[in-house]
């Protein structure tokens, strides 16, 4: 059997082409932080106001996503060039299901992510690193 991971909106397109969806990753409840932002200490020291502005905008975007379906769908349709209402609705629902309500990283997500870093990562010390509970 051949299979692949596919994200919205492409999963709906695949269904329409006759492919079978074997599972929805959101339903597996994997401890995975989907909304992740990272930067360097150097950037934070040199451009702290830029980092703060970015985080404010990032959080505002997630808030919009979670509270304003109409505007969010308009943005999705424009940015992803989606003209099909079914695909737009499914894409919105799929990503809303994956979006965390809290942006505070939890230790179980960090532990899962540190275990799944690819070998050869730029930060090999992060692989399997012990992360304390939160």
Residue 131 reports pLDDT greater than 90: no
- The answer as to whether 2 is a domain residue is no
Longest CA span, the chain: 52
- The answer as to whether 3 is a domain residue is no
For the record, the structure tokens of 56 come out as: 């404010």
Q: What average pLDDT does range 113-133 have in this prediction?
A: 56
67 and 130 co-located in one domain: no
pTM here is: 0.63
- What is the domain range of residue 54? 10-103
Q: Which residue has the higher pLDDT, 66 or 123?
A: 66
Question: For the chain, what is the domain count?
Answer: 2
- The answer as to whether 40 is a domain residue is yes
Taking CA atoms, 96 is separated from 28, 52, 84, 107, in Å, by 15, 24, 18, 22
What lies within 8 Å, CB to CB, of 54 at 6+ separation is 37
- The answer as to whether 24 is a domain residue is yes
14 and 70 co-located in one domain: yes
């Amino acid at each position: 059997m051949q299979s692949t991971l596919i994200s919205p909106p492409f999963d709906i397109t695949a269904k329409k082409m006759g492919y079978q969806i074997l599972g929805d990753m959101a339903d597996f409840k994997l401890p995975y932080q989907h909304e992740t932002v990272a930067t360097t200490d150097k950037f934070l020291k040199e451009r702290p106001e830029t980092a703060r502005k970015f985080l404010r905008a990032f959080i505002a975007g997630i808030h919009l996503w979670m509270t304003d379906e109409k505007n969010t769908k308009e943005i999705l349709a424009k940015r992803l060039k989606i003209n099909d209402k079914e695909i737009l609705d499914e894409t919105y629902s799929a990503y809303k299901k994956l979006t965390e309500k809290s942006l505070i990283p939890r230790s179980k997500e960090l532990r899962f992510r540190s275990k799944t870093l690819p070998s050869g990562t730029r930060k090999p010390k992060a692989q399997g690193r012990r992360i304390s509970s939160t």
